[in-house]
């Protein structure tokens, strides 16, 4: 097992302590502007059809829709067919940080690309491990800003110090502002903290941390992001939607399928939300 030490090169002691206490950590400028531009342009070309996707996906938008999210839906698991997305999922800078904060070898479970155009709804407060069902321990999210991400354009908020809050059965969200109907209300005394991120800034947060975003109120600014999920190698099971799981070399890792019905006591379909 990888032990946290103050001499660890991936993170300094203050960052490690911050993650332990708050449940999240922002690493500024982890990805360079030219890298971010390349990923953004790749997805722009896929979305406008100028670069054909090697595999059909759930992400092909409906150009006639009035809902901005229907025109530009989330791209789910692009690393399964896009080599650039796979490189980002397996990026050694991310994995070095994950090794420190997980105190274990990471296993990659998911990638997503969000376009979040002007006018798009957000995603109400939720906990990612409700969907991934990683056990024991929790998953971890890596949220990479592709555009400036602010409260105005639907940037992400986290509720600090909720990493030890048990995964809850969600209440019903307001679907006029959220594209899911799941809402996890923070415990008394805990409030969402809006984060301001620049392109390349990378947010790490524990899979039990309550987080979400509001609508993009900007008339011109997109809020694109690339989001990955991982779990510690010591975890023994995960929901079936996330297979195949990958190690740092991109090789498949065996794991059991979670048989838990989750905190609501019923099985549910992860594909609609996917965290």
Binding region for ligand AKG (CB under 6 A): 114, 122-123, 128, 156, 211-213, 225, 227, 275
Does residue 75 sit in helix, strand or coil? strand
Q: Which is nearer to ligand AKG, 99 or 126 (CB)?
A: 126
Least distance to ligand AKG from the beta carbon of 211, Å? 5
For residues 237 and 239, what is the distance between their CA atoms, to the nearest angstrom? Answer: 7
Burial class (CB in 10 A: 0-12, 13-18, 19+), 4: middle
Least distance to ligand AKG from the beta carbon of 254, Å? 25
CA angle (119, 43, 32) in 5-degree steps: 100
> How many Å separate Cα 79 from the centre of its chain?
14
Note the helical H segments in 124-270. 129-132
Q: Which is nearer to ligand AKG, 39 or 156 (CB)?
A: 156
Least distance to ligand AKG from the beta carbon of 12, Å? 27
Q: Which is nearer to ligand AKG, 8 or 67 (CB)?
A: 67
Least distance to ligand AKG from the beta carbon of 88, Å? 15
Q: Which is nearer to ligand AKG, 16 or 40 (CB)?
A: 40
For residues 162 and 23, what is the distance between their CA atoms, to the nearest angstrom? Answer: 7
For residues 103 and 97, what is the distance between their CA atoms, to the nearest angstrom? Answer: 10
Q: Which is nearer to ligand AKG, 73 or 212 (CB)?
A: 212
Q: Which is nearer to ligand AKG, 144 or 245 (CB)?
A: 144
Q: Which is nearer to ligand AKG, 197 or 246 (CB)?
A: 197
**Nearest residue to 91 via CA among 195, 6, 10:** 10
Q: Phi and psi at residue 265, in whole multiples of 5°?
A: 80, 10
For residues 15 and 18, what is the distance between their CA atoms, to the nearest angstrom? Answer: 5
> Which residue's beta carbon is nearest to the bound ligand AKG?
213
Least distance to ligand AKG from the beta carbon of 112, Å? 6
**Nearest residue to 116 via CA among 156, 80, 56, 175:** 156
Least distance to ligand AKG from the beta carbon of 274, Å? 8
Residue 45: which H helix or E strand, with range?
Answer: helix 33-48
Least distance to ligand AKG from the beta carbon of 143, Å? 7
For residues 210 and 31, what is the distance between their CA atoms, to the nearest angstrom? Answer: 25
């Amino acid at each position: 097992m990888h032990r946290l030490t103050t001499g660890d090169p991936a993170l300094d002691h203050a960052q490690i302590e911050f993650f332990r206490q708050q449940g999240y950590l922002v690493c500024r400028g982890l990805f360079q502007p030219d890298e971010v531009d390349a990923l953004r342009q790749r997805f722009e070309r896929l979305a406008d059809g100028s670069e054909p996707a090697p595999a059909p996906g759930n992400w092909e938008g409906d150009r006639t829709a009035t809902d901005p999210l229907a025109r530009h839906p989330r791209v789910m698991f692009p690393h399964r067919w896009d080599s650039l997305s796979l490189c980002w999922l397996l990026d050694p800078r991310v994995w070095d940080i994950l090794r420190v904060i997980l105190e274990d070898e990471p296993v990659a479970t998911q990638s997503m690309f969000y376009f979040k155009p002007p006018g798009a709804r957000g995603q109400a407060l939720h906990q990612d491990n409700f969907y991934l069902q990683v056990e024991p321990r929790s998953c971890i999210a890596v949220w990479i800003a592709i555009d400036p991400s602010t409260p105005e354009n639907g940037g992400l908020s986290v509720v600090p110090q909720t990493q030890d809050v048990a995964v809850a059965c969600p209440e019903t969200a307001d679907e006029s502002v959220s594209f899911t109907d799941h809402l996890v209300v923070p415990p008394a005394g805990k409030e969402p903290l809006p984060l301001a991120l620049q392109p390349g800034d990378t947010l790490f947060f524990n899979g039990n941390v309550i987080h979400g975003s509001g609508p993009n109120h900007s008339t011109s600014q997109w809020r694109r992001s690339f989001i990955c999920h991982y779990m510690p190698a010591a975890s023994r099971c995960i929901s079936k939607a996330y297979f195949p799981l990958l190690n740092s070399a991109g090789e498949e890792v065996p794991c059991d399928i979670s048989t838990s019905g989750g905190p609501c006591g019923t099985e549910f379909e992860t594909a609609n939300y996917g965290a």
